[in-house]
Amino acid sequence: MAEQTAREPKRFKIRHLFLGLLLLLLVWFAFFRISAHRDVTRRLGQLRAQGYPMSLAELGQRYTLAPGADNAADYYLTAFSHYEAWNDEAREGLPWVGRGQRPTRTGVMEPEIAERAERFLADNEKTLSLLHEAVAIESSRYPIDFEEEIGAGVSWLGDVRKHAFLLSLEALAACERGDPNQALASVQATLALARSLNTPILIHRLVNIAVQALAYRSSEHIVNRVSLTDEQLRVLSNWLEAADDSQGQRDALIGERCFGVDIFQGSTGHLAAHFGGSGKLMTLVVIPRRLLGLHDRDLLGYLDLMEGYIDAAKLPPCERLAQCESLRKARPQGLLTRELTPAFVRVFQLEIRHVAHRRAAQAALAIERYRLAEGGIPLALSDLVPTYLDAVPVDPFDGQNLRYRLREETGYVVYSVGEDLTDDGGTEHDDRKRNADNEIIWDVTFIVER
């Protein structure tokens, strides 16, 4: 009897110890859950206090037109509606708008292809007229409802690229006719079309860069194919300079963060819809994560990571990639953070390549101005300073001066080492080679062959 009495207090103590531990666990869980939510609220408030939009509604309020301002997007959308699309067979052989090969820098189009290009441009006269009219309008606001559509305008992004190709064909045709004024106007219209996408949306920024790259290619073809005056070269350089938007990448990342926060804070169904085919599985994962407070902790990690990328976009271009890579490796990322942060290293590479291409183009235009004045090309880019350049342009990939090399055959190349940070002697993308390790090598180039 005494032995049984001794066992009962022991069981009593074990039961109370278990209940005490369970109570401590519940208290810890409540603290963890409440503090996570409180930390998210405080963090979002801090970012808002710094002037950042933190919701899609706030982002939309920033993407507005001044009262009474003309809207270039209206012209572009009307131009898109007038586009005369030939079938594949009719466009056969046409460069840019079809699958035809683009002529080399100093080459010409075959007469039959040139004649077909002129007919295609004539059929799109109304579209081209509107594209050129929009050049004079700096403000642009496409009909994007940030709160209704996560894709925010993807439906017409394809039209922007299609019409950039149309303008590239117009520039080629003008070179064939020996009409530098029309060719330059096509480049200006291409840059203006890219400018219309200066929106706080990452995918728009990437299309903006792609369209500007077409303007650089057209500029290279023009410099090689037609004679330009000093004034025309200077004006083209000014257009390229005006197209520089160092704030654009940062704004796009700020907008991307708003889309991410919206997904984090949306309903479970909203989140599942975003992830498409994996939505059901995501629903099963997210519900317990929200209950346990892990979802809020994931959001805090997402905010930290995005702030790091936004800060990296403020750095000089040659420092951005290293910072971006360190952010990727710095800390383990939460489940949704991994889903919502794309390959930002690649995004930064494309942005910096765009800067390199523009700087190489501007340096080449300065060389051409020097050629007109001196009767020959300079031995070094420093010979262009200060008359044609304020300073030797810096390669945004490695922080060194842009490379400049006379080509053995003819002409010269101005180039950046590109994302591999290796000087491949000015090997252009269309002539890329492989090194001894079978790695593709090429530089970001602007080549003149005369």
Same structural domain for residues 291 and 413?
no
Range of the domain at 74: 66-245
Neighbours of 192 (CB within 10 A): 27
More confident residue, 252 or 148: 252
Least confident of 38-42, 177-181, 351-355: 38-42
pLDDT of residue 152: 47
Last residue within a domain, chosen from 296, 322, 342? 342
Last residue within a domain, chosen from 342, 358, 393? 342
pLDDT of residue 374: 96
Quick one: 41 exposed, middle or buried, by C-beta within 10 A (0-12, 13-18, 19+)? Answer: exposed
Least confident of 101-110, 147-156, 236-245: 147-156
Distance CA 99, CA 129 (A): 24
- Residue 344: which of 205, 198, 160 has the closest Cα? 205
Same structural domain for residues 107 and 198?
yes
Judge whether 43 lies within some domain.
no
Same structural domain for residues 281 and 412?
no
Backbone Cα Rg of the chain: 28
More confident residue, 254 or 276: 254
pLDDT of residue 293: 75
Distance CA 184, CA 227 (A): 12
Same structural domain for residues 153 and 70?
yes
Same structural domain for residues 114 and 196?
yes
Last residue within a domain, chosen from 216, 245, 274? 245
| b (16+ CB within 10 A) / e for 96-109 | bbbebeebebeeeb
Judge whether 26 lies within some domain.
no
- Residue 413: which of 392, 433, 428, 398 has the closest Cα? 428
Distance CA 153, CA 200 (A): 12
Sign of CA dihedral 219, 225, 413, 426: positive
More confident residue, 394 or 333: 394
Distance CA 448, CA 360 (A): 11
- Average pLDDT value over all residues in the chain: 87
Residue 412 in this model has a pLDDT that exceeds 90: yes
Find out whether 370 and 377 touch, Cβ atoms under 8 Å. Answer: yes
Same structural domain for residues 353 and 444?
yes
Judge whether 407 lies within some domain.
yes
Number of domains, the chain: 3
Judge whether 23 lies within some domain.
no
Same structural domain for residues 295 and 212?
no
More confident residue, 431 or 76: 76
Same structural domain for residues 206 and 87?
yes
Tell whether omega for the bond before 386 is within 30 degrees of 0, i.e. cis.
Answer: yes
Average pLDDT score over residue span 303-307: 94
Same structural domain for residues 99 and 126?
yes
Could you tell me where the DSSP H helices lie in 226-343? Answer: 230-242, 248-265, 268-274, 279-292, 294-312, 317-330, 335-340
Same structural domain for residues 97 and 211?
yes
Angle at CA of residue 418, ends 246 and 382, nearest 5°:
75
Same structural domain for residues 136 and 227?
yes
More confident residue, 136 or 275: 136
β-sheet bridge partners, residue 414: 404, 446
In degrees rounded to 5, what are phi and psi of residue 401?
-65, 150
pTM: 0.89
Q: Which residue is associated with the tokens 């990727």?
A: 328
Find out whether 60 and 146 touch, Cβ atoms under 8 Å. Answer: yes
Tell how strand 433-434 and strand 440-441 pair up: antiparallel
Q: What is the pLDDT of residues 97-114, one digit of tens each?
A: 999 998 888 888 999 999
**pLDDT-based confidence at 381, cuts 50/70/90?**
very high
